[in-house]
Structure 1
Amino acid sequence: MRTLLINVLVFTFNICFLATLVHGSNNHERKSYIVYMGELQAGAQITSLIQSHNNLLSSAIGDQKLARESKIHSYGKSFNGFAAKLLPDEVKRLSDEHGVISVFPSTRRQLHTTRSWDFLGLSETTKKRNLSTESNIIVGVLDSGIWMDCPSFSDEGYGPAPAKWRGQCVKGANFTGCNKYFSMVYQPDIAAPGIDILAAYSKQTTITGYPMDKRRAVFNIISGTSMACPHVAAAAAYVKSFHPDWSPAAIKSALMTTAIPMKIKDETAELGSGAGQIDPTKALNPGLVYDLSLSSYIRFLCKEGYNSTNISLLVGGKKRYRCSDFKPAQGADGLNYPTMHLQLKNPNSTISAVFHRTVTHVGYQSSVYKANVVSPEGLSVKVYPSSLQFSHQQQKHSFKVTVKGGSMANETSILSALLKWKDSHDHSVKSYILVYKGGLMF
């Protein structure tokens, strides 16, 4: 019995000793942490930020040389902070520092894919191609950061340019600088891969953009809307190859109404992800589209208070457009857009708006679409008529959406509803309806 007791005590001591050793080794093992210091101050210079990060780290570690070796990266573009390999006691000291909001472990993330087109369901080997039309499509790119010598612009392996190409920029009636317009319409409209994208890069700046960085390359791993936009542009060109007669508005509508909803918990998710993530193959057959003509844009601009001179500058050309020559735009927004938005001028205002929309049938069969609405408590959304019957392609039908509700609670800044037009051929044409308080930034 005594021998058994001794063995148990020895075993217990060994377990405790092992646990102590393991715990001790963790206390002396440097691990990667992110030191988050909040938003960037206006006018903050990256050099001064880096210096403040280095000073903070040296103070916590107590050794400048070791601090330099432990430093991984300084963040000074989207937020203020840095990454470093730290010991537990150093994490504690940094957490107690004034100006440090939080210190948390840097975690490894599993890549969704190494090919963004596979992620979007449009692999390189897809059989859904219209090769004869593809070769006759011209894609215009407007980007101030283009580096023309980049290998991405090489035309090696491509056939001749389309016969209609005249070797200079194609200009049309596209509105790219109307700030008042953007305040009325869902921005962004759509989401696409834009995080850690291998992209063409300018030699005019260094890889990190930091003054002490001397490295330059024609490709870089970048994140941002400039990475997402080319995916959407390519998806639009893909849809255009199957529907060469569709307008830009029809293509945009197809991409928006067939997009995959994104699961984001943030209340302002709809303002950050738009109608969802693009699904290029689904956009080929949206069922219905919200189309826009030149006169539609002009009527909208007239409703927004633009005069003949401003409209002519936006549209281009020598023709003068007078608002009196056009039928007034209807509804709260006056635009036949795939989404509907109401910005409350007063946070305590009651909700009341009417939206007028017209859809064009682009399906291959006669169809009956029925409206399905999902709305939160306190927001009433009605659709008139609630059923639309189409017998042939390009047939148009108009409908009206009324949105009503009381004043929004103080803690609520956005109310979001969803209208789906569904038929028996597996079409589901989604339109988001958003009501938000004035002053909300997006």
Structure 2
Amino acid sequence: MRISEKLLLAVLINLCLVATSVHGSASNTGRQPYIVYMGDVQEHGFSVEQHHNMLTDVIGDESIARESRLHSYKRSFNGFAAMLLPHEANRLMEREGVVSVFPNTKRKLVTTRSWDFLGMPLTVNRNHQSESDIIVGLLDTGVYPESPSFDDKGYGPPPSKWKGKCEVGANFTGCNNKLIGARSYSIQIKISDQSPADTEGHGTHTSSTVAGSAVNHASLYGIGRGTTRGGVPSARIAMYKVCWYWCSDIDILAAFDDVISDGVDVLSISIGGSSIRNYFNDSLAIGSFHAMKKGIFTACAAGNQGPYALTVSNVAPWIMTVGATGIDRKFRTEIRLGNGMKIYGLSLNTYAPTKQMYPLTSGTKAANYTDGYEAYFASSCYSGTMGQEKVEGKIVYCASGQGMFLGDRQDHTVKELGGVGTIIAGSELNDTAFSYVLPASRVDLKSGDQIDRYINTTKNPQAIIYKTKEVKVSAPFVASFSSRGPNYLSPRILKPDITAPGVDILAAYTKLASVTGQPYDDRFSLFNIVSGTSMACPHAAAAAAYVKSFHPNWSPAAIKSALMTTATAIKVRNRDAEFAYGSGHINPVKALNPGLVYDLQISSYIRFLCREGYNSTNLHLITGWSHLDCQKFQPARGHDGINYPTMTLPLPHPAKNFSAVFKRIVTNVGTNSSVYKATVKSPEGLSISVFPNTLAFNRVYQRKTFKVVIKGKPLRKETPFISASLEWSDSIHRVRSPIVVYKISAYRVTS
């Protein structure tokens, strides 16, 4: 069984973590890394001595306590990371002043045409001076500063508010007036060549998508040729490298601690969320909460576990959770068989053929054995199951992968055996193109059967795989891989919030990694085409920065509301609907003038957290508010307790009649004098009333309250989900809010 060098290294590091302590000390053997979160740094102040004393008290040995402490968070919130035994973690949880104690987890990382598709051409209206003062921070894999996307020609010095740093190190010589900051974090594992340099490509891709400078004639070996640029190309970039072979909670919180004090305005985080059912046991939720308190907008990727329900991550209401959509192009790769048949698959094939035809075989015919498990796995071209003499010089057809060998790539296997190309059958991810280490194309199962039949009925089967071409398609569409709701943690909050382009996105890349990131690949490019909610997230972050450049005093919630209520609804023909796309497809230009916004202050989030069952003591520590009493913040019975731009009603008893009241407050950010009327769209059997149904404003920033009353009869057995909407309009603005009613039992989620 073959395993990639990176995967092997990651496994070895994991084994070392289990077998040894932080600095190889026997006194720490058996301990695991935990995070002790103590809330707002202003509440009790910060003291390393305090952290040390707490550890000494629960461990009982001062020297072990000193060795066990990994890091203290001190700039923006209070807490520390330490190597602990489970019973010591439990004792710390009982200490006064501690909000939560949770084990460190390792998280996974989850763009030319996309900005034109979003209605933001190079000539779009911009507030260049304000935009150049915006600092976008990213928590990611680092950055490749030599990329032309980070050219600082024409840029002045960084904004005076910038308090961050630029670290130098291996493969990283420094920053400039575009890329103004770069830090790296590896607290638990000491890396000899640690630096902010991007050896993966992910961070370079996402940061250039947000704010990369315009680069003409960019492409991946001629594929997707055009001008790459970020959504806010005048903005500054600050990279916080927290991801190596994984992204550690300890490092994520350390980066947040710096981000909040460094002067960052908008954060883009394309990292998978935690499945822990508590916001304050989640490093991304904790960090983004403190960022929100400082006025920093945070966008996070929704995850790549679609199309399955209950897979959406990063669901805290103070985060904008971003799903992925496709734009109006796909990359199609033609296959021609020896009998003249043409078949089209998806891939990013940069290789042009050098012959008219190549011999064609299948994994089954190239198998070392003709029966048993080996033959079964050989049909999918699994490593070690095929003979080199049967593969060398041929294109190999590989049946649909068995899905049980994580890390094994069919193209790698074929190349190792001297094959010249591969055709891979599979129905999954049929809207996404991938790069392979040799000429390849992924076809659907029906086409795969045709190819297999041709191979088995032809004496000398042949085929050719052509270089990938771009084709136009209808868009937007929700990517099959994009994670879906409902929200497992807070079922009354619709997640994802919004979708943005995340399929086949061309953006900057690093030359410290090959195109596929694999050692079998000898292609290195300044640009690459990648898919994922990781690519969608920086689109949303850039849209937020674009809105902020025109409205610098708007809160993160106001910007988020503007983006959500002006989004375009996407037509989906299944029960996913809003659970797939939230409020819809992002429209940055329209969001500049939303008319009304659903703003949220810290008190709104406290009300929400009280409703979710968090106690006054912990919320007091988190916020720094004195005499906080959740009883005063509890919403009235039937209310959802938060001024969110969407309204979601989970039904614990779908066989009963149901009703609910949503209380909302909108703020006028349009014209001084305006009258908005409510329009409701709902299916038969669902009654929605709005009180009042007319809102009259006579000044900007005036606030108005209204209620939405929902009543309905039991949902039919075949109807797990109902979609409706409320739209406020003054004939100029259209402020749309999705309304979702669903059966909890249909999604196996508890309220």
TM range (shorter): 0.5 to 0.7
- Residue pair 2:260, 2:291 contacting (<8 A) in 1 also: no
Secondary structure at the residue paired with 1:185? Answer: coil
TM-aligned CA deviation for residue 121 of structure 1: 0.9
Distance 1:149 1:182, change over 3 A: farther
Higher strand share: 2
Unmatched segments (≥5 aa) in structure 1: 1-44, 48-112
TM-aligned CA deviation for residue 183 of structure 1: 3.4
Q: 2:140 pairs with 133, 144, 150, which one?
A: 144
1:269 maps to 2:577:
yes
1:323 maps to 2:626:
no
Distance 1:204 1:411, change over 3 A: farther
Secondary structure at the residue paired with 2:259? Answer: coil
Deviations 1:226-263 (A, max 9, x none): 11111111111111111111111011111111111112
Match of 1:159, as an amino acid? Answer: G
Secondary structure at the residue paired with 1:183? Answer: coil
1:163 maps to 2:160:
yes
1:391 maps to 2:391:
no
Distance 1:309 1:121, change over 3 A: same
1:364 maps to 2:671:
yes
Aligned residues: 329
Aligned residue in 2 for 1:440: 747
Aligned residue in 1 for 2:463: none
Aligned residue in 1 for 2:121: 123
Aligned residue in 2 for 1:348: 655
How do residues 199-278 of structure 1 correspond to structure 2 at under 5 angstroms? 199-201=507-509, 207-208=515-516, 212-213=520-521, 217=525, 219-278=527-586
Aligned residue in 1 for 2:12: none
Match of 1:411, as an amino acid? Answer: E
- Residue pair 1:413, 1:437 contacting (<8 A) in 2 also: yes
- Residue pair 2:690, 2:709 contacting (<8 A) in 1 also: yes
TM-aligned CA deviation for residue 307 of structure 1: 1.9
Q: Under a length normalisation based on structure 1, what TM-score does the superposition of the two structures give?
A: 0.67
1:144 and 1:300 map into 2 onto residues whose CA distance is 30
- Residue pair 2:500, 2:536 contacting (<8 A) in 1 also: yes
Secondary structure at the residue paired with 2:633? Answer: coil
1:293 and 1:340 map into 2 onto residues whose CA distance is 18
1:411 and 1:235 map into 2 onto residues whose CA distance is 38
Distance 1:411 1:206, change over 3 A: farther
Higher relative contact order (CA 8 A, sep 6+): 2
Q: Under a length normalisation based on structure 2, what TM-score does the superposition of the two structures give?
A: 0.41
Aligned residue in 2 for 1:405: 712
Distance 1:326 1:136, change over 3 A: farther
Secondary structure at the residue paired with 1:297? Answer: helix
Q: Percent identity?
A: 55
Aligned residue in 2 for 1:135: 132
Distance 1:157 1:428, change over 3 A: same
Aligned residue in 1 for 2:612: 304
- Residue pair 2:127, 2:550 contacting (<8 A) in 1 also: yes
Match of 1:322, as an amino acid? Answer: L
TM-aligned CA deviation for residue 114 of structure 1: 4.6
Secondary structure at the residue paired with 1:271? Answer: helix
TM-aligned CA deviation for residue 216 of structure 1: 5.4
The CA RMSD measured in Å over matched residues stands at 3.0
Q: 2:689 pairs with 370, 382, 398, which one?
A: 382
Aligned residue in 1 for 2:599: 291
TM-aligned CA deviation for residue 199 of structure 1: 3.0
1:154 and 1:325 map into 2 onto residues whose CA distance is 54
Deviations 1:281-319 (A, max 9, x none): 11111111000001111111011111245435655xx55
1:150 and 1:328 map into 2 onto residues whose CA distance is 53
**Bigger radius of gyration, 1 or 2?**
1
Deviations 1:95-124 (A, max 9, x none): xxxxxxxxxxxxxxxxxx952111111111
1:342 and 1:333 map into 2 onto residues whose CA distance is 9
Distance 1:177 1:280, change over 3 A: closer
Distance 1:371 1:312, change over 3 A: same
Secondary structure at the residue paired with 1:389? Answer: strand
1:429 maps to 2:426:
no
- Residue pair 1:146, 1:202 contacting (<8 A) in 2 also: no
Distance 1:347 1:46, change over 3 A: farther
- Residue pair 2:507, 2:529 contacting (<8 A) in 1 also: yes
- Residue pair 2:647, 2:737 contacting (<8 A) in 1 also: yes
